[in-house]
Chains A and B, each alone.
Chain A
Amino acid sequence: MRIVEETGFKVYSPSALKHFKAFGAKVDEETCLVKVPREKAMELIGKAPSVVTLCGQDERQDLVLGGKSVYTGTGGTALYVYRHETRERRLATLEDLKRIARLVDHLENIHLFLLPTYPNDLSVEVVDVNRFFAGLDNTRKHVMGGLYSLEGALQVVRMAEMVAGSPDRLRERPLVSMITCIVSPLKIDKQYGEFAVELAERGIPVVCPAEPLCGATSPVTVSGNVLMQTVDSLLGVMLTQIVNPGTPVVMGSVATSTDLRNLRYLAGSVEMGLANAAGAQMAQFYKVPFYATGGMTDSKVLDVQAGYESAITNLLCALAGSNFIHDSAGLMEFALTVCDEKYVVDNEILGMVMRAVQGIEVDEESLAVDLINAVGPGGNFVSTRHTRRFMRREHYFPTLSDRDTREEWEAKGAKVTWERAAERAREILAAEHHSIAPVVRKRVLSEIPGIVDKGNS
């Protein structure tokens, strides 16, 4: 809070600056430097809802962000797609985005679809509508995404209102949410500032993550990085609450470290896991829902490094009670690239992670003292009713991992993890479907300009 009060922050968005001024912050119009007294800052943060519900088109996919609840989702925005089978990387297209949405729709441990790729085959004016349409039309999970133009963002809001049924219905059940980044250190950029103001005015859930990099855009220490990230993200929270008190907002962190031998951004470092876990705890202190970043890798291929970096950062974020872990599946190569098979592999990691989050239930029935007494020394628990009662819900059952004997595994073709993942991806993608009802779909396509739909059906 001393930073917000004494150091201040720069606001390059004219409308955001106007709002801070009207609120009574100390504003230097020439340098765009804003200072907010700590009491006022705390008052604004207190207005932000402590729980934000992000809805899916399917109500069973609703996510209640707040407290220590944990959900996972994809992330981006990647420029490339890597095919493990051919070991090739190419530029991502709109079709890739649709395919990944369909894949994620079926992966049970990925709860939210954050638009993961940039469609390089489209011009920038139509990117926003096409990205969100690809999401809404191919998965019934909640769709979150970054934005590329204000006009595009407003078209997306119109489209989401149609899919939800009406503007009011969208506010009741937000099917989409949008990301407006804060630029670390201490800067609200022109375009992102405008986005935040416009979206907050319309009551659309907004995430305002900051991306401080240790030793580059934040102090090199993990604690300094967490402080930077917390303050930066709170700037976004404050702005939305000035614009529209009570509007849903989520604090966010994309904090990570850099390799100071070459100033390279890192996506799989253990410090990234630590910083995001601590960020979650800070958000819990301020009682604002939190968006963390974990589950990525710096590896270029689907290898052992891809597995361990993704697992460690996801687990750290999850055990700290990060309400939503973004980037938790599919990403590799410093978040530049996505890979179908990696979504399936990460889905398995996230299944294990979510089991860890569930923790250990301890009560009389789970401790089973009476049962131990009844079975007695030298007995076994294989055939007891207690085992049957608990075995399915107490233990996570892998959908991808190999637990066969060597003989069984060889008999099934001795397939390694990525080969089994590729098989599951192929099975899922065999069926095509539209999530948006045909009538609504037709209306969206005729009223929202610029959507590319093969065959226009």
Chain B
Amino acid sequence: MSEDIITLLRENVIQGRKTAEDEGIDADMSGPGVLELTNLAIEKGIPPAVIVKDGLTAGMHVVGEKFSKKEFFIPDMLASAEAVGAAMEILRPLLEGSGAQSKGKFAIATVKGDIHDIGKNIVATLLKGSGYDVVDLGIDVPTEKIVDYVRTQKPQILGLSALLTTTMVVMAEVIGALKEAGLRDSVKVVIGGAAVSQDYANEIGADAYCADAFEAVSVLENLVRA
């Protein structure tokens, strides 16, 4: 029985069905979605860590594979990540009770002068679905505000986003300001967005560059482990 619930949960993560009302990719998919199945799994006494690992994370792994094969599109991936993120909200208190920890605190912002947020939101959704404690600082965020946030809230990782070549230079400014405030070593800085590249990350001294949201997940895994 518990096997079946976990299998079904994994399948619904892949289909991106948050609730019973959601459509999956297969039109004939019906029955409980990720939220209902998560609650059912808790009721049946399946350990939260197992629900996360064998159900949610295993499902997201398949989504990632299908996405890189271009079989899944960004909206599919987001639907899955949203479903997992919502399930994590239910599971987090239980995980904390059992001693398991969040993967870490991740703050993300679109830098000053840039109002593009779709890419940033996708990364935030996917990382939330991957078990991070995600804080979205918004768009057009002044450098001082970012520095203040790092000082007071101490996120392990800071993500900076910019679509425009004219605003990507602000990323360098943020890193400079963190150095000046003596905070650069307290946080890993990762960058992403259409305008930037690995070369640019190296040039401005960022810790990593993420080409897309799935790459962000693996980049963060490595950074957190390091």
Determine the chain B residues whose CB is within 8 A of the CB of A385 once the complex forms. Answer: 22-23, 79
Tell whether B75 is near chain A: CB-to-CB under 8 Å: yes
Number of CB contacts from chain A to chain B under 8 A:
33
Q: Mark B1-44, 1 if CB is under 8 A from A, else 0.
A: 00000000000000010000011010000000000000000000
Determine the chain A residues whose CB is within 8 A of the CB of B74 once the complex forms. Answer: 382
Q: Mark B66-79, 1 if CB is under 8 A from A, else 0.
A: 00000001111011
CB contact under 8 A between A380 and B79, given known A385-B22, A388-B16, A389-B23:
no
Tell whether B123 is near chain A: CB-to-CB under 8 Å: no
Contact of B73 among A384, A389, A391, A407 (CB under 8 A): A391
Q: Is the CB of B23 within 8 A of A383?
A: no
Closest partner residue, chain A, to B115 (CB atom): A378
Q: Which of B100-159 contact A (CB under 8 A)?
A: 117-118, 121-122, 125
Tell whether A221 is near chain B: CB-to-CB under 8 Å: no
Consensus secondary structure, chain B interface:
helix
Minimum Cβ distance to chain B for residue A358 (Å) = 20
Q: Is the CB of A388 within 8 A of B75?
A: yes
Determine the chain A residues whose CB is within 8 A of the CB of B78 once the complex forms. Answer: 382-383
Tell whether A305 is near chain B: CB-to-CB under 8 Å: no
Q: Mark A380-396, 1 if CB is under 8 A from B, else 0.
A: 10111101110110000
> How many Å lie between the Cα of A387 and that of B23 in the bound state?
12
Q: Which of A172-214 contact B (CB under 8 A)?
A: none
> How many Å lie between the Cα of A386 and that of B23 in the bound state?
10
CB contact under 8 A between A383 and B73, given known A388-B16, A388-B23, A389-B23:
no
With a 10 A CB-CB cut-off, give which of A383, A391, A392 has the most chain B CB atoms: A383
> How many Å lie between the Cα of A194 and that of B87 in the bound state?
75
Contact of B122 among A382, A392, A407 (CB under 8 A): A382
Determine the chain B residues whose CB is within 8 A of the CB of A384 once the complex forms. Answer: 75
Q: Is the CB of A380 within 8 A of B16?
A: no
Closest partner residue, chain B, to A388 (CB atom): B75
6 intermolecular pairs with C-beta atoms under 8 Å apart: A382-B122, A383-B125, A385-B22, A385-B79, A388-B23, A388-B79
Binding site for B on A (CB under 8 A): 380, 382-385, 387-389, 391-392, 407
Q: Which 4 A-B pairs have the closest CB atoms?
A: A383-B78, A387-B75, A388-B75, A380-B118
